[in-house]
Chains A and B, each alone.
Chain A
Amino acid sequence: MSDFTPIPYILDSSVLIDVARGDADLIGFLQDFDRAGHSLIIPSLTAAGALLDSQGLPDAQALLTGLAAFEHTTVAPLDGIPQAAKLAAMVNLMSSTELNSFDAHAAAIADVAICPILTLKASMWAWLSSTLDAPLHIIEIADPDQ
């Protein structure tokens, strides 16, 4: 019997943007991840940022809708003033980084829930992570051979 305990993984804007663009290898990776029982979280504001970046791409919204329909995927809403305040604090911290400001929602969830963030570029998260009381867990989706 496996002792595997699924934990949720938060998708940042770099991942959502590439899904919206139809990146086959990334979509294949996430599909396998879901089939393996991993929970994926799509922060709703981060999804909004990905759709903003994907304006003009006809399948962008449908692809993110499909991702949200994966068996183990959840779209995280922004709920209430305390969460809005947490988001505002993250946006303020992130203003001097190359992170997309829509990633503040991913950061806020990760900081509260202690869940790893899946990203295509871990270095973008390094400074923000180092400034928080508890560093974020950043996992880079990359092909080490490329």
Chain B
Amino acid sequence: MRWQPLLFVGLAAILCAGGAAAGERFYYLGYEIIQVIDGDTDAIVADIPITGASREVALSADRKFLYVATNRHLVHTVDLTQNRVVATIDLSNDGWDRVMFGFVLDPDGKTAYGGFMSRRTAGGEVVIGGPVVAQFELETGRFLRSVEVPWGVAHLVSVKGGTTLYAFAQDLYKIDTTGRELKIAETVPMFDRMMNILPFWDYAFDNGGVASMNYYTPEFMGLMLVDQKTGEISEIPLKGDPVMAYSVVLSPDRKLAYAVMDELTVIDLVEKTYLESMPIAEGTCYAVNVSGDGKKIYAGGGGSTLTVYDSKTLKALKVLQMASDGMDIRRVSF
């Protein structure tokens, strides 16, 4: 019976070798690479080679696959157990050169939606396709249906079980997916309300189903929270001089939010004001995330560092030197 302990040791070694063991992993979305950080040790435990510059991410319902969009036209399927890309589709197909801004999965797990601009040449002339939000197959990249939208869609959020898509542009377009054809069911004005938003980071699955983005008016910064279950949109104007931030993530208890650009800023969601703001020693960061227990903050991307902070003291606990610059840092709990 001496082999039994050895078997357990062997299994533990396999699980700790970069595979998806119980706990949480942070995925640093870089350029030609994704790096996996263990949430307990804050050490890089795996490198995942990938083609292109990472942009948007979606997580499968079973949390086994991460879909990573790169170069605005490739979608890679990353197996989180094996830590490798197992499939890639190119959305520049059927003669069209496409760029995708906004990417969400359909609940069927087999298709996804993106916001697209397209172009091709015909007879030596440039042909520009109308901007659309379109549904496509994840396995083949084949386009199934689309709806024309105004120019400028930069981000999508899927709500109400995928029956509605929120397309963020100068205004917010609510797209009904339930019929045979996609259709814009409602337009929520933002431009006329002087709202300015760069919604590339929303941390919807990290926040447990709430997309979090920051926006600006000439007077203040606000947070826009989208509850994916109900579709409810909460606008939270923040009191005080606005800080500059690319992205914002919620603390697990949703009483605080953390925002980053050149500074790491702590936001009190109850009092709707800023608590503290401090320059990030390594420089500008695009991305911010928080551990599942709320004790650590991760700020990185932009440049090739990832800083781990104590969320209470804002003291830097660790600075990881990453293999590449980065776009985002996403948390997946297993």
A binds B: no
